[in-house]
Amino acid sequence: MSDIIYTKVDEAPELASASFLPIIQKFAAAAGVSVGTKDISLAGRILATFPEFLKEDQRQSDDLAELGQLVKSADANVIKLPNISASVPQLVAAVKELQAQGFALPDYPEAPATDAEKAVRAKYDGLKGSAVNPVLREGNSDRRAAKAVKSFAQKNPHRMGEWTADSKTKVSAMSGGDFFSNEVSTTLAKESTAKIVLETAAGEAVLKDGLTYPAGTVVDATFMSAAALKSFLADQIEQTKADGTLFSLHMKATMMKVSDPIIFGHAVKAFLAPVFEKHGAALAELGVNPNQGLGDLLARVDGNAEIKADIDACMASRPPMYMVDSDKGITNLHVSSDVIIDASMPALIRAGGKGWGPDGKEGDSNCVIPDNSYAPVYDESVKFFKENGKLNPVIAGTVQNVGLMAQKAEEYGSHPTTFEIAEAGTVKMILDDGTVLSELKVEAGDIWRSASARKAPIEDWVNLAIDRQKAEGCSAIFWLDAARAHDAELIAYVKPILEAKGVADKFEIMAPREATRASLETITKGENTIAITGNVLRDYLTDLFPILELATSAKMLSIVKLMNGGGLFETGAGGSAPKHVQQLAEENHLRWDSLGEFCALGESLTFLADAKGNEKARVLGQAVDAATQGILDNDRSPSRKVGEPDNRDSHYWFARYWAEALAAQSDDAELAEHFAPIAQALATGEAAILAELAAAQGPAVDLGGYYHGDAAKTAAVMRPSATLNKIIG
């Protein structure tokens, strides 16, 4: 096994790797550090899942499973780039691309009928959503802006939209019948096994059996009422029209891969209610599933003039919709994975509450977030900025995050225990000793789910928070709502640990709404705070605050301290990566910023030095920090426009600053001697290298595929400088 594992992923981060990874491997080798790769891309995971359909030379090892074992060991040192959390349309598109490349994969069965089709569907469904993160995140999260990045953002403030007190933008959430209001939660006194059953007038059906929970596990159960959801969506559509704003739905259908696509489907159906009422049978015959989005629906009815005319008439009668791409007519309801709440809401808030409408103009928006568990975070943010105006990045402090996510903690681990209820009855969780842990009455179409958080990760999370607060010395808030069932169980863990450690006075416990207000007030004054949160809020807040503070969450330092001693170093968000790929294909310009990878690399090398006693790796890591500072100080980050410096230029400059820092340092004479000629060659070759990189831009390029590109073609595109390649090798 290599000293460091660099993950092979998807989209823009993977394209950037084709340019950056050879540089990493070249430099690391000088310190005796090997850097290998493991494929956790969507295409790679598909191929690994269906070896029986492939030729011998097409088969691929299950790298995700191998990494899943590695992260449980003290030897783990993994740099994890953002991967696709696939929606069904993305999964289907990836399968079709692989089939076209000669891989005889089975189709994704949309309506499996036979046992064989059901087995294939089950395998594919295991690849959807957050299939990667729960496997690799065997530790809790420490996310914060690196000091160099924060300093640069303050000295070079990004543009912020203007907020006004009369803005019509608002957040709308259900006031009842949602997951938040129906939640029950219990902490198990002993190790238990459990089953989930649905009791109806016809008898009992087992929804899930063989669940195992260690003693001390917090187990939740809740449901969303389909009737309440339908009523809420219908009301919001009418309210949006009355307000004269844009209708926008904000969800996390990639991570909440069972529940949120269903909720998304309800929104599609609600928006086109007259069409479904009139043409329901015909739409069903065409295979329309509203969960797949408006884009799939329009493709299926193409050629049916009557249905298309009724859709157009319905859309004309509805409020204008928040657009993903106004120029291409891609709406908020086209594909569930196109609008992800943790990216879309911060972007809207940063823009002064404005979203793009179908006319290509900005407008205020009704931000519809059905479940009320975390909607108050965004609602309070909107209210705060209406009252106080936009955040000033020049003086703003920072919100760090310590997140509970180990061992599939909380909602993101609920996929196997989420069900769309087939008929009315009572869902019960029953322990092996006969104890009924929870029972909730449900109606047909309701969405029931159970989530859990284990004792060891919870305690590790609290101790990590104590360590971070001690290191930073700033305010620290546990974002927990005593009125919410799950949070009340966590508070029962948090308080005794804080008191036993004698640090209870260093922390506050606040519900998300109040914590949002307090944190915004803190950073507005130029001070710092630590948000100590559960798994979903970790995801939401580490986009919200960085996007406001830094303009992007891709530049966050993201360290997962694995519970068995290893390290997982994540490289930020990839929410805008698809547009980056599109621009590269059309104009050979990649605007992806690898700053997150730079930060993760430095942390990984330092961790390796500590774990293995490799002092050369420490010198390499220190030089990475100097190179990262050089990128920022000299404004070497990628531009957004073709013809200007892009991702490949930034990698040249990073390599040069890295080599120069290594040549100049005095801690390791051997490394200084080794890198002096490399630094000289990179400096001497500057004009030629930059000219070769610039000459490559402009024409469209062939990558050999979107989900499963051709390695040679991608390398040719991403390494167009013969001069640089000769130096790097």
Strand 436-442: give its sheet, edge to edge: 203-213, 192-200, 425-431, 436-442
DSSP alpha helix (H) spans, 613-709: 615-633, 647-664, 669-684, 686-696
Q: Write out the binding residues for NADP(+).
A: 80-85, 133, 575-576, 580, 591-593, 640
| Residue among 542, 410, 609 at smallest CA distance from 82 | 542
Cα radius of gyration (the chain):
26
Query: What is the rounded (10 degree) CA torsion for 496, 501, 505, 509?
Result: -40
CB 486 within 8 A of CB 414: no
Token pair recorded at residue 55: 């030729």
Produce one character per residue of 318-352: b if its CB has 16 or more CB atoms within 10 Å, e if not.
bbbbbbbebeeebbbbbbbbbbbbbbbbbbbbbbb
| Residue among 611, 590, 594, 724 at smallest CA distance from 659 | 724
Q: Write out the binding residues for D-threo-isocitrate.
A: 143, 538
Rounded to an integer, the average pLDDT of 143-167 is 91
Q: Write out the binding residues for substrate.
A: 130-137
pLDDT in tens, 383-428: 999 999 999 999 999 999 999 999 899 999 899 999 999 999 999 9
Q: Quote the CA–CA distance of 189 and 200 in Å, as a whole number.
A: 30
Token pair recorded at residue 72: 């449980």
Split at pLDDT 50, 70, 90, the class of 528 is very high
Residues in a beta bridge with 426: 199, 441
pLDDT in tens, 205-216: 999 999 999 999
pLDDT score of 504 more than 60: yes
Predicted local distance difference test score (pLDDT) of residue 574: 53
pLDDT score of 508 more than 80: yes
Rounded to an integer, the average pLDDT of 497-516 is 98
- Which H/E stretch holds residue 197? strand 192-200
- Which H/E stretch holds residue 243? helix 226-243
Rounded to an integer, the average pLDDT of 533-546 is 94
Q: How far is CA 337 from CA 9, 234, 355, 616, 629, in A?
A: 17, 22, 17, 43, 34
Query: Long-range contacts made by residues 429-432, C-beta under 8 angstroms, separation at least 24?
Result: 429/194, 429/195, 429/196, 429/219, 429/221, 430/194, 430/195, 430/196, 430/197, 431/188, 431/192, 431/193, 431/194, 432/192, 432/193, 432/194
Q: Write out the binding residues.
A: 80-85, 130-137, 143, 342, 538-539, 543, 575-576, 580, 591-593, 640
| Residue among 259, 288, 293, 291 at smallest CA distance from 276 | 288
CB 723 within 8 A of CB 655: no
Q: Are strands 362-368 and 170-172 parallel, antiparallel or unpaired?
A: parallel
Q: What is the mean pLDDT of the chain?
A: 95
Split at pLDDT 50, 70, 90, the class of 255 is confident
| Residue among 541, 525, 573, 491 at smallest CA distance from 85 | 573
Rounded to an integer, the average pLDDT of 479-486 is 97
Q: Quote the CA–CA distance of 294 and 724 in Å, as a whole number.
A: 46
Produce one character per residue of 684-700: b if its CB has 16 or more CB atoms within 10 Å, e if not.
ebeeebbebbbebbeee
According to DSSP, residue 212 is labeled E
DSSP alpha helix (H) spans, 86-225: 88-100, 115-125, 133-136, 147-155, 179-182
Rounded to an integer, the average pLDDT of 235-239 is 98
Predicted local distance difference test score (pLDDT) of residue 478: 98
| Residue among 290, 293, 259 at smallest CA distance from 276 | 290
Q: Write out the binding residues for Mg(2+).
A: 342, 539, 543
pTM: 0.84
Helix, strand, coil distribution of the chain in percent, nearest 5: 50, 20, 35
Q: Quote the CA–CA distance of 248 and 355 in Å, as a whole number.
A: 9
pLDDT score of 109 more than 80: yes
Token pair recorded at residue 90: 């993305």
DSSP alpha helix (H) spans, 399-484: 455-472
Rounded to an integer, the average pLDDT of 34-48 is 97
- Which H/E stretch holds residue 299? helix 294-301
Predicted local distance difference test score (pLDDT) of residue 575: 53
Predicted local distance difference test score (pLDDT) of residue 488: 98
pLDDT in tens, 552-611: 887 788 888 899 999 999 886 555 578 899 999 999 999 999 998 999 999 999 999 999
Q: How many CB atoms lie within 10 A of CB 260?
A: 25
| Residue among 584, 592, 593, 590 at smallest CA distance from 699 | 584
Rounded to an integer, the average pLDDT of 123-140 is 87
Split at pLDDT 50, 70, 90, the class of 95 is very high
Rounded to an integer, the average pLDDT of 88-94 is 92
CB 397 within 8 A of CB 550: no
- Which H/E stretch holds residue 308? helix 305-317
Token pair recorded at residue 401: 């995050």
For tokens 């209708």, what's the residue?
247
